Amino acid sequence: MKTLMIRFLSLTTAAVLALSTTSLFASNNDIQVLMVLSSHGQKDAEGKLVKPGFEFDEMSKSYLVFASAGATITFASPTGGKLVADNYDPSKAYNERFLADKAAVKLLESTQKLSDINPKDYNAVYVVGGKGPMFDLADNQSVKNIIREVYENGGVVGAVCHGPAALLDVKLSDGSYLVEGKRVSAFTNEEESAFSKTWSMPFLLEDKLTEQGAVFHQDGLMLNQVSIDGRVITGQNPFSTADTSKAVVNKLGLKADEALEFKDDRTIKLVEQFFSDRDTAIKEFTAHRDQYDPMLLGMFGVYQARHANTAIERDVALILMQQTQDTINHPMLDTAIAKAYLHNNNIPQAKAVLTAAKKKFPENQQVLTLLQTLSE
């Protein structure tokens, strides 16, 4: 009887999940997605970024996911027109692919004003991250109205990284906040502390979402986390972008191109495997090193070591740095590895790492100073 009951519950759960992912737009062949970008970005006369804007990487990844699924895309922003993105690498594969698409670039360079948008024209609204949304989308009434109307018309609301700032203060017709009682992910307080050094944020996004009743879900520092609660789909950070976009596509009843995968996202998923199955992760990285980004793995290890709160986080950080040490071959990585050993009270191993680093980088002051400290 117990076995039958478990089987019944499993089947019932599967049925509920199937129903929950069924889209209202499955029969619509013309799916319209409004991609919202920040207009806050600004550069000085020398081309230096003086105000943060939207995240180009997140925009290009999301655009490629939506376009490959057959959606029609419109870009919109508070001011309209051409926007300033945060600094980015145009040679990254997804950015190269976007920039090679002349029609896509033309769309980006002529964003529509949010105040001119008719929400009834769109099946989904998706807010791209970057630091900019914290400054201009968090209190933009036009985007609030669009989000509310798209949602209440049965549409999908998506946002990633700092993009969920646009979801703040969105009130539904019944007076409740859109995020109230919903699972939501966004750039976390921990990530803000670790990475938002250049710009002073006007508030902490995690705190504000929680204040408005959101059930905040997060993974570890810069790991992939996507939260799906009905027709509200949010992602934690830049490495959650592709999966957040794919979840929006699936909710719209379109078919996401699962083969559309990016090396940095794949690398972060490998990091997650280091937490769950270290031996398999090491074998995978060793056998298919070209499929991953060693620099990203190593730098993730450095930041993880600096901000680790648990023994397993420190352990994984050390392993990641060790796995990429030969490839990166940088004194900063060697000193970070030595400090990780010191944190574990393994002074002999720390000295060994620094002694080897001194031979490679005989004039590096950080290596010399730390080695001298251990020798006293």
Q: What is the pLDDT of residues 147-193, one digit of tens each?
A: 999 999 999 999 999 999 999 999 999 999 999 999 999 999 999 99
Residue 10 reports pLDDT greater than 70: no
Q: What is the pLDDT of residues 280-296, one digit of tens each?
A: 999 999 999 999 999 99
Cα–Cα distance for residue pair 265/170, rounded to 1 Å = 30
- The bridge status of strand 124-127 relative to strand 32-36 is parallel
Exposure string (b/e) for 113-145, b if CB count within 10 Å is 16 or more?
A: ebeebebeebbbbbbbbbbbbbbbbbebebbbe
Residue 13 reports pLDDT greater than 50: no
Which neighbouring-strand residues pair with 113? 77
pLDDT given for residue 294 in this prediction: 96
**pLDDT band at 374; cut points 50, 70, 90:** confident
**pLDDT band at 197; cut points 50, 70, 90:** confident
Residue 141 reports pLDDT greater than 90: yes
**pLDDT band at 27; cut points 50, 70, 90:** very low
Residue 341 reports pLDDT greater than 70: yes
Domains and CATH numbers, the chain: 27-251 (3.40.50.880), 263-375 (1.25.40.10)
Share the mean pLDDT of the chain: 92
Two tokens, residue 138: 């968090």
